[in-house]
Amino acid sequence: MTDGRRIEELRAGLARTEERIRAACADAHRDRAEVSLIVVTKFFPATDVVSLLELGVRDIGENRDQEARAKVRETAELLGGARLPRMHFIGQAQRNKAGSIAQYADVVHSLDRPALAEALDRGAARADRTLDVLIQVDLDPEPDPGRGGSAPADVGRLAQLVEGLERLRLRGVMTVAPLGMDPDRVFGRLAEVSSELRSDHPDARWISAGMSGDLESAVAHGATHLRVGTAILGSRPSHR
CB 229 within 8 A of CB 211: yes
| pLDDT at residue 127, as a whole number | 97
CB 220 within 8 A of CB 182: no
Instruction: Point out which residues pair with 88 in neighbouring strands.
Output: 61, 107
Q: What confidence category does residue 2 fall into, taking pLDDT thresholds of 50, 70 and 90?
A: low
* Summary mean pLDDT of the chain: 95
- 4-232 adopts what CATH topology? TIM Barrel (3.20.20)
Q: Whole-angstrom Cα distance, residue 27 to residue 21?
A: 10
In three-state secondary structure terms, 38 is strand
39 φ/ψ angles, rounded to the nearest 5 degrees: -90, 120
CB 188 within 8 A of CB 222: no
Concatenating the DSSP letter of every residue in 116-166 gives HHHHHHHHHHHTT--EEEEEEB---SS--TTT--B-GGGHHHHHHHHHT-T
Q: Whole-angstrom Cα distance, residue 81 to residue 184?
A: 42
Q: What is the pLDDT of residues 95-136, one digit of tens each?
A: 999 999 999 999 999 999 999 999 999 999 999 999 999 999
Q: Among candidates 16, 18, 100, 7, which has minimal Cα distance to 45? A: 7
Q: What is the pLDDT of residues 19-59, one digit of tens each?
A: 999 999 999 999 999 999 999 999 999 999 999 999 999 99
Show me where the domains of the chain are located: 4-232
Q: From start to end of the chain, where are the E strands?
A: 36-40, 59-62, 86-89, 107-111, 131-136, 168-174, 206-208, 225-228
What percent of the chain has pLDDT above 70? 97
Q: Is the pLDDT assigned to residue 83 strictly greater than 90?
A: no
